[in-house]
Amino acid sequence: MRYAELHEQSIHDPKAFWGEQAKAIDWHTPFTQVHDGSRSPFETWFAGGELNLCHNAVDRHAATRPDQPALIWHSTEVNQERTYTYAQLLDEVQAMAATYQALGVTKGDRVLIYMPMVPEALFAMLAAVRLGAIHSVVFGGFASVSLATRIEDASPKLIVSADAGSRGGKAMAYKPLLDKAIELSAHKPAHVLIVNRGLVAPEMTAGRDVDYAEQRQAQWGKSVPCEWVASEHPSYILYTSGTTGKPKGVQRDTGGYAVALAASMKHIYLGAAGDTMFTTSDVGWVVGHSYIVYAPLIAGMATVVYEGLPIRPDAGIWWQLVEQHRVNIMFSAPTAMRILKKEGAEAIQQHKLDSLRALFVAGEPLDETTSAWLQQTLGIPIVDNYWQTESGWPILGTANGVERRTPALGSAGVPMVGYQVRLIDDQSGEVLQGADQKGVVMIEAPLPPGFMQTVWRDDARFLKTYWQELGGKHYYSTFDWGIRNAAGDHFILGRTDDVINVAGHRFGTREIEASIATHAAVAESAVVGVADQLKGQIAVAFVTLKDAGQASDALRGEVAKVVEQQLGAVARPSQIHFVGGLPKTRSGKVLRRALQAVAEQRDPGDLSTIEDPSTLTAIQGLFKPASVD
């Protein structure tokens, strides 16, 4: 079948399409209705069905392939490696679940998880859904104030944490951050479960804090049955990064999520039982939830969990893991790939990578230069895909599991099954039909399985934030600009709130960044719009070079000229700064709003997710800068 036909079926006959996809999941009680849209946009998928996410990810495989590796943990931070078979993973999850029960956790309770990239983080997630509890993973190392707002919103009965994480070989104590967050929060958890790695001795609060090693020993060997939950039962809450004010908790269901992930592994990621997947993210982000934890395990695969940096001890570490564990599918971020590109192809070429079938990237647009370099260096498909915390799985991509296709360089692909993606003119509200017209990327209701159900405890905010009614139809806004070429390939140009309006001309920051990236000397760039009294806004570019020694006024002029030639003089950055590094989150996203604030000499706000604060400090020293106009 051609992919276009499959996509058409998913849109116009969703009950038949998704009913077929649901066969990949074990149902304790069969669903009676594939889709109930009577409360749209609050969709219910697989109504009447009961299942358990942990059973589908662990138990059913432990029964049929108990000795197959399920979880492979490698840490260059503490120089340790552990492999768990499906049978061993089940034992660990049951010990964690029994500990939860001993601490009073039951169905519907929230368990907040504040952990580094260690196996126990996955045990904690799986144990929660095993009991029908709702987990909320908060990125490890989050600042106390940000953590406190999430504790207050999720109101967990239990928090699972560790003594410390490690970054670049330096221990980062988690327990003091957590203690301070609990102090700041109006909600106080009944218990805190601590995994002591022996990095930083934690101070334990009597009557509240519990040592996991002691509990694991006490609960080991106990059988903890799966709690069968309704398909629409929440599986987890995940707070969107960068949220200001009250955090926005994306609430996910159970049945729709399980089916969507299974379908995505089959159609998009080409993963099957017995394969190995290496996703270089963190469980604190949606990519980690979906493609480190649940999707690979649901598919009966082994998942590689990595704690460490992409270039420590050297730039070949990820490729060493691919070779060592015979990785079939790799999933990373464009930023990480640009870092590795800067290190050169030798680190890749010295490893035997014949097991690797494809490299997938998501999180931000993949520029053409990096995509072409990866394709040439690896000799395998480099597949961009576009999605969000809210969607849980790709909105745009390439379904090579259905039909082989090569999108245009720089494109995130075509709409995936279940998604009616539209480009909407932001002025008229009309659906743009032609090619090469820029509009807001929206999704026509109904949203497919696996998408967010609502904002946790705030249906009104869900409706107000995401939904618009246009021409009698309801549309979910991604808040991203996009264009579509004549072949149907979509290109993401950046957030609608990252649009630069220069003297009445509108430009997506990603358009300018993509243009800058075509200069041979450029490694990476970030462009922000900065307030200007004359033009409303001006474009300011922060650029890292492959060779920092090349920085000069002449090169600055060359880079500006490239943009002028490709996008026109009005898009030419008014300021170009050569910097040693860009401020990023641990997951690799550039903190553009912080850059904008610094350029406008404002407070950059909460920087708790920044990986290396010195990058922003160095940039702060540049202002007010010289103009290249």
Global pTM?
0.86
Q: Do residue 282 and residue 152 come from a single domain?
A: yes
User: What is the strand order of the sheet 454-455 is part of?
Assistant: 209-211, 191-195, 158-162, 110-114, 134-137, 236-239, 249-252, 454-455
Question: 143 and 193: one domain?
Answer: yes
**DSSP 8-state assignment for residue 364:** S
- Residue 300: left if φ>0, alpha if ψ -120 to 50, beta else—which one? left
What pLDDT score was predicted for residue 243?
35
Co-location of 89 and 139 in the same domain: yes
Residues 99 and 248 reside in one and the same domain = yes
- Rounded Cα distance between 339 and 335, Å, is 6
Residue 418 sits in the same domain as residue 277: yes
Residues 292-315: tens digit of each pLDDT: 999 999 999 999 999 999 999 999
Specify the residue for token string 């159609």.
267
Interior angle at CA 204, CA 200 and CA 206, nearest 5: 170
Give the residue numbers spanning the domain of 509.
Answer: 503-620
Tell me, yes or no, whether 455 and 512 share the same domain: no
For residue 318, is it within any domain? no
Q: Of 440, 464, 488, which marks where a domain is finished?
A: 464
Same domain, 170 and 301: yes
CA distance 89 to 501: 53
Does residue 498 lie in a domain region? no
- What letter represents residue 505's amino acid? H
Percent of the chain at pLDDT > 90 equals 80
Is position 9 within any domain?
A: yes
268 with 402, same domain?
A: yes
Q: Residue 429 falls within a domain, yes or no?
A: yes
Same domain, 104 and 237: yes
Answer yes or no: do 443 and 562 share one domain.
no
Domain count within the chain? 2
CB neighbourhood size of 4 (10 A): 13
Last residue of a domain, one of 403, 437, 464: 464
Q: Which own/partner pairs from 405-408 qualify as long-range (CB within 8 Å, at least 24 positions apart)? A: 405/3, 406/381, 407/487, 407/489, 408/485, 408/487, 408/489, 408/491
Angle, vertex CA 158, rays to CA 153 and CA 164, nearest 5: 95
The whole-number pLDDT of residue 386 equals 96
Instruction: Give Cβ neighbours of residue 206 (< 8 Å, ≥ 6 apart).
Output: none
Q: Is there a contact between 399 and 267 (Cβ–Cβ < 8 Å)?
A: yes
Enumerate helices (H) and strands (E) in the chain, giving the number of each: 21, 33
DSSP three-state, residue 164: strand
Amino acid 227: pLDDT: 98
* Sequence-separated (6 or more) residues with CB below 8 Å from residue 292: 122, 279, 281, 283, 303, 305
Phi, psi of 619 (to 5 degrees): -70, -35
User: Is 460 within a domain?
Assistant: yes
Query: Counting Cβ atoms within 10 Å, is residue 428 exposed (0-12), middle (13-18) or buried (19+)?
Result: exposed
Looking at the domain assignment, is residue 301 inside a domain? Answer: yes
* Confidence at residue 244, expressed as pLDDT on a 0 to 100 scale: 43
- Give the pairing of strands 536-545 and 575-578: parallel
Cα distance between residue 50 and residue 52, in whole Å: 7
508-524: pLDDT as tens digits: 788 789 889 999 999 99
CATH code, domain carrying 277: 3.40.50.12780
User: Average pLDDT by consecutive 10-residue portion of the chain (629 residues)?
Assistant: 95 97 98 97 97 98 98 97 98 98 98 98 98 96 85 98 95 95 97 98 97 98 98 96 65 98 97 97 94 98 96 95 98 90 92 97 86 94 95 98 93 97 94 95 98 97 94 94 96 78 70 89 93 80 94 95 80 93 85 89 78 88 63
- Which pLDDT belongs to residue 552? 95
Cα 443 versus chain centre, distance: 19
Residue 413 tokens, joined: 């692909």
CA atoms of 437 and 202, how far apart (whole Å): 56
Angle of the 255-267 helix axis to the 14-21 helix axis, nearest 10: 80
Residue whose structure tokens are 């480009």: 423
| Per-residue pLDDT at 335 | 83
Shared domain for 437 and 539, answered yes or no, is: no
pLDDT given for residue 242 in this prediction: 39
In which residue are the tokens 């609990």 written?
A: 182
Q: Which of 443, 464, 485 is at the close of a domain?
A: 464
- The confidence score (pLDDT) of residue 122 equals 98
Q: Identify which of 282, 334, 287 has the alpha carbon closest to the alpha carbon of residue 582.
A: 334
Task: Report yes or no on 181 lying in a domain.
Answer: yes
Residues 523 and 431 in one domain: no
CATH number at residue 508: 3.30.300.30
Report the SS3 class of residue 223: coil
CA end-to-end span of the chain: 54
Q: Is residue 366 a part of any domain in this protein?
A: no
